[in-house]
Amino acid sequence: MILVISGCGEQPILSSIDNSKITHQLEVKQVLKLPEQKPSLPEQEPSEDGLVTVNNPTSIEVLLNKQRKLPDGYVPEDLVVPNVPFYFDEYLPKKQMRQEAATALEQLFYASNEQAGLNLVAASGYRSYATQKQIYENNVKTKGEAHANQFSAKPGTSEHQSGLAMDVTTADVGFSLVQSFKETEEGTWLAEHAHEYGFIIRYLEGKSDITGYAYEPWHCRYVGTEMATEIYEQGVTLEEFFGFTPNVS
């Protein structure tokens, strides 16, 4: 059957998939033990474009948003393809994540299937600056700047470029990236357990005035188990966790 995939700033992609072939043949791996991490946000000066260029782009704690961008030309050096199901078969760069995040994603997917019998499916991970630029500009052209700014990051400010984010979905929503994903069994499980594997739901419901983006229950950001657990237990955004007060007007 033919499905349309959209969301998180990407344009619809046509793909055919046999859901019966999705399997979770993943190895049980030891849960990552990360060094103790403390909330910290390095002091930085705005660039010529008015955005702060982060000086810790390789840190799993890096904060990226509409005010904070990656250095020009940044590409993660440890991108790999996690061993999880994707909604498409062919190799595309968006299958990639940084090694640590990819290993954690494998553990998360394995646990969801082994513990709850669920079938999470990966949709979109790493995006280059050029790809994000194309996505953003196309969204502005087709949907208007206001809509684009709600769902699509400007190039250089996207968490996908960091290699620490992965959008996930499930068959119950036609493998789309839609807010109704939260109502599926996979979406509910993810919201309640992602932190146990180092991920947070980055763009929370009712927090768009802080994050600058609409609610995205599908967007998982890796920050490590300790920080993810603290953020989950406090019910806050990454901005609030760091005490960052953004201007998203």
Which member of 61, 186, 216, 239 is catalytic? 216
Contacts of 88 (CB under 8 A, 6+ apart): 13, 15, 17
Angle, CA of 207, 211 and 212, to the nearest 5°? 105
Residues pairing with 65 in the sheet: 68
CA–CA separation, 218 vs 7, rounded Å? 9
Going across the sheet that includes 216-222, the strands are: 121-124, 165-169, 216-222, 199-203
If phi over 0 gives left and psi between -120 and 50 gives alpha, with beta otherwise, what is residue 243? left
| CA neighbor of 216 nearest in space, from 135, 158, 129 | 158
Decide: helix, strand or coil at residue 149. helix
Task: Give me the torsion for CA of 96, 99, 103, 108, rounded to 10°.
Answer: -50
* 145 is a catalytic site residue: no
User: Which residues are catalytically annotated?
Assistant: 216
